[in-house]
Amino acid sequence: MRISFILSSLRLSGGVQVIVEYANRLAQRGHQIALVMPRGTVDADVLSELNSHVAVRQSHGALGTQPGLVGLLRLTWSMARTVPPSDVVISTHTPTTAVGWLACGVWRRGRPVWLFQDYEEMFENRPYETWLMRHALRWHECALVVSEDSRCELSAYHKGQVVVVGEGLSHPEIFCPAPAPVRSRPLNQRTILFLGDMRPRKGLAEFLKAASLAYEHLKDIRLLIISKEKAQIECTVPFEYVHRPTRSELAGLYRACDLFVSASWREGFGVPPLEAMACAAPVVLTDSGGVREYARHEENCLMVPPRDPAALANAMLRVLTEPDLAERLRRNGPPTAARFTWEHAVDRFEGALYNLFSET
């Protein structure tokens, strides 16, 4: 099968990593895969992760070369023309659904499918993208979503066909428990790990507030903040900032921490908490929607409402001061992560595409 994915960029993000996993594994199964994105939006590190049989096609038009609606329309037209003849054309981000509509409806490049990983909070104060998210399912034959939460959101906008394909844990050989207990920090210091970028919806501000509240009760904590972006961070709690660690370095940080915290307002799935569980780190997270695929309160994590620093601080303190609880979360994390494999996700993805053709 000839499958083309339309991307807003090939730059590092959780959504792009999902596309890379699907593209690589579908190519390994013999499908002809192409990735289409605007010119100049390719990250060399992400590119190096691609299977050699995956074609990368950059449009003639580049992102941001012409401002306003005219520039957006020109880029959309250019990207649609770049899509090769395909059996299936997959929009992968809400802004790319217009490209998919044009490629399939005008240029007849293939059958339109939407890989939906987005959520309403992603497009706050962006009326064009919000309109697309609420209406684009109408011109796709089906949508493939990464969680039941995403299925519910998209189905509320339009009653089209929506199939949950899910995600898997990438590199389980790296994201796994240490063979022996790891302690690379002073005995009188407890480390709280946070991973996320600087966008408000990732919850860094709420995490820092919660950490300050926890610090009033526990003075031996320090924060380890990891991001793909360089940032200036102000916090009353001692902290260290790590910019874009390697995959192996990240796994080591998960294993060594006393607690991993995710404070996102919303996630389509939410991979970092699952990676932390795989490495046997105790996890506190917010009920961001997609994490319900694997998060079980009091069993493999503590879950609190989003945007509630006080509740987040209380949960953090519980894990840091209740050894039995922390041990239970550590013990139950790896079996949880082991249930999420990319082979199963690709089976569902591939099956959904085959069903399109069996129904005609």
Say whether both 256 and 320 belong to one domain: yes
Average pLDDT in the 23-49 region?
A: 97
Q: Does any domain span residue 178?
A: no
Radius of gyration of the chain (CA): 21
The candidate with the shortest Cα–Cα distance to 300, out of 316, 323, 269, 277, is 277
pLDDT tens digits, 48-65: 999 999 999 999 999 877
Average pLDDT in the 346-353 region?
A: 98
Question: pLDDT grade, residue 187 (50/70/90)?
Answer: low
The full length of the chain comes to 360
Q: Does any domain span residue 184?
A: no
Say whether both 206 and 283 belong to one domain: yes
Say whether both 195 and 152 belong to one domain: no
Say whether both 88 and 237 belong to one domain: no
Say whether both 251 and 314 belong to one domain: yes
- Domain with residue 15: its CATH number is 3.40.50.2000
Say whether both 230 and 314 belong to one domain: yes
pLDDT tens digits, 202-256: 999 999 999 999 999 999 999 999 998 888 898 999 999 999 999 999 999 999 9
With both helix axes pointing from N to C terminus, report the angle between 309-321 and 323-338 in degrees, rounded to the nearest 10: 100
Count of the separate structural domains present in the chain: 2
Q: Does any domain span residue 272?
A: yes
Q: Does any domain span residue 300?
A: yes
Residue corresponding to tokens 């089209």: 160
Say whether both 162 and 279 belong to one domain: no
pLDDT tens digits, 278-314: 999 999 999 999 999 999 999 999 999 999 999 999 9
In Å, how far from its chain's centre is CA 288? 12
For residue 69, give its domain range: 2-168+341-358
Say whether both 354 and 331 belong to one domain: no
The candidate with the shortest Cα–Cα distance to 259, out of 307, 305, 314, 296, is 314
Say whether both 240 and 103 belong to one domain: no
Say whether both 251 and 263 belong to one domain: yes
